[in-house]
Amino acid sequence: MFGRLFNKGKEKNKETSNKNQKSWSKDEAEYIFLHGSQTGGTEMLAKTFFKSLIKEGKKVFMDDLDSYTTYEKATHLIIFTSTYGSGGPPANASDFEDAFEDVEPINPLKFAVVAFGSTSFQDFCQFGVDVDGWLESNTHFERLLPLVKVNNQSDSDFRGWLSLWNRTSNMDTQIELKSSNKRSSKIQEFTILENQEISGDETHLIKLKPTKDVNFQSGDLLSVHSEDGQQPRIYSIAKIGNDILLSVRKHEQGICSVYLCNLSKDDVVSASIEQNKTFHLPVDASSIWMICNGTGLAPFLGMMEENSTSKLNLIWGGRQESSFGLYKPLVDKSIENGLMEKYELALSRTGEKQYVQDVLAQKSDEVSKALDSGSVFMICGSMNMQNAVLEVLDEITNSKLNQPLSFFQDNGQLLKDCY
């Protein structure tokens, strides 16, 4: 055990040998960042993330999972790992399980795991799931963020995790995975047409008009530049006619959300549109389940207008019925045009106190039949809601259809855009 403790773990990071950057040893760093990689993809991303933490001024040390040891001043353990073969560890993580059993951490550590994999394998992200479970069941570790699974280096899966990471740790790291897949329009001006507050909910419905011609569709993202020197923030778009409708939650300390929510009619915003192909309305689905909470309803409001063929089911989670008030007329229009029979509200502050995952669990027969017959499930809103929904859907598909949820995801039946 001591051989492992003292021999493993490189003393300084090569990545920080750059003269201008301070490097931290394993015993100086507060953030320990370990990665497990087979083909180098996860390692490359890990290096990018590592550099962005250094840029944020963090004392961080990066190493292979196999080199897991004690860390004198560490407060956080972050792990990015892929899975190899049938649910096993990648090349530089095969000793991690033993090391983890042998090594007793010096300090309590907050942890976060990102699991990389592909839904085309039966054991999608299994090693990451195992690592997360080992940390979860060890009393020295406290969860900082829920486990997130990233399919085929998907930018949108990782973006959701990064968004959670940034606000939990008060950082502003910006990393992209498949940047070649992403197309952004030029920064241009958009005029505010309406800015309505959903009272008691710190949420605004904001309608904007592009001042120049620009192509976009519901599910794309508006990248808003609020102040000089600030990274832009992104918001899910509903296309209503030729206008953009956003649902924005106002965060008390938030830079961009406060900026947007305080705008008045005729004010002008600088922004660009990011195409978000993996979250467009599917063209050939017989039925679509729209699962969302809070502001996550926004892109669906536009998709309801776009839709002319698929039967729609909507389950929305919010605090109370009045939170749904401003959205309701747009949803009712979809019911009037005959492609949606009804919608369900899961209200967390009134009556039965429900969340969207509870509604799905109650409808497990209907959900399994829908997935079995090719329905597409689209999820938009908070990462916590997404994780809870994925867990319920996975239970349903395993118990009723004898398949993991990743089978249906691989089939294109699960689309996600959470933050």
Ligand X SMILES: Cc1cc2nc3c(=O)[nH]c(=O)nc-3n(C[C@H](O)[C@H](O)[C@H](O)COP(=O)(O)OP(=O)(O)OC[C@H]3O[C@@H](n4cnc5c(N)ncnc54)[C@H](O)[C@@H]3O)c2cc1C
Residues at the contact surface with ligand X, assessed by CB under 6 A: 159, 163, 167, 170, 221, 233-236, 246-249, 251, 253-258, 295, 298, 417, 419
C-alpha to C-alpha distance for 236 and 215, rounded to whole angstroms: 15
Closest approach, Cβ 123 to ligand X, in A, equals 28
CB 303 within 8 A of CB 237: no
Closest approach, Cβ 349 to ligand X, in A, equals 17
DSSP 325: T
Strand locations in 103-229 (E): 109-117, 141-143, 148-151, 188-198, 203-210, 221-225
Nearest to ligand X of 367, 379 (CB atom): 379
Closest approach, Cβ 247 to ligand X, in A, equals 6
Closest approach, Cβ 256 to ligand X, in A, equals 3
Strands 287-293 and 238-240: unpaired
Nearest to ligand X of 47, 167 (CB atom): 167
Closest approach, Cβ 278 to ligand X, in A, equals 11
CB atoms within 10 A of CB 324: 18
Nearest to ligand X of 4, 233 (CB atom): 233
Residue 280 tokens read as 């467009």
Nearest to ligand X of 291, 298 (CB atom): 298
3-state class percentages of the chain: helix first, strand second, coil last, to nearest 5: 35, 30, 40
Closest approach, Cβ 384 to ligand X, in A, equals 10
* Closest residue to ligand X in the complex (CB): 254
Q: Tell me the Ramachandran region of residue 40: left when phi exceeds 0, alpha when psi lies from -120 to 50, beta otherwise.
A: left
Closest approach, Cβ 167 to ligand X, in A, equals 4
Nearest to ligand X of 12, 209 (CB atom): 209
Nearest to ligand X of 42, 276 (CB atom): 276
Strands 141-143 and 109-117: parallel
Residue 378's contacts (CB-CB under 8 Å, 6 or more residues apart) are 279, 288, 289, 290, 291, 300, 415, 416, 417
Nearest to ligand X of 156, 310 (CB atom): 156
Rg (CA), the chain: 22
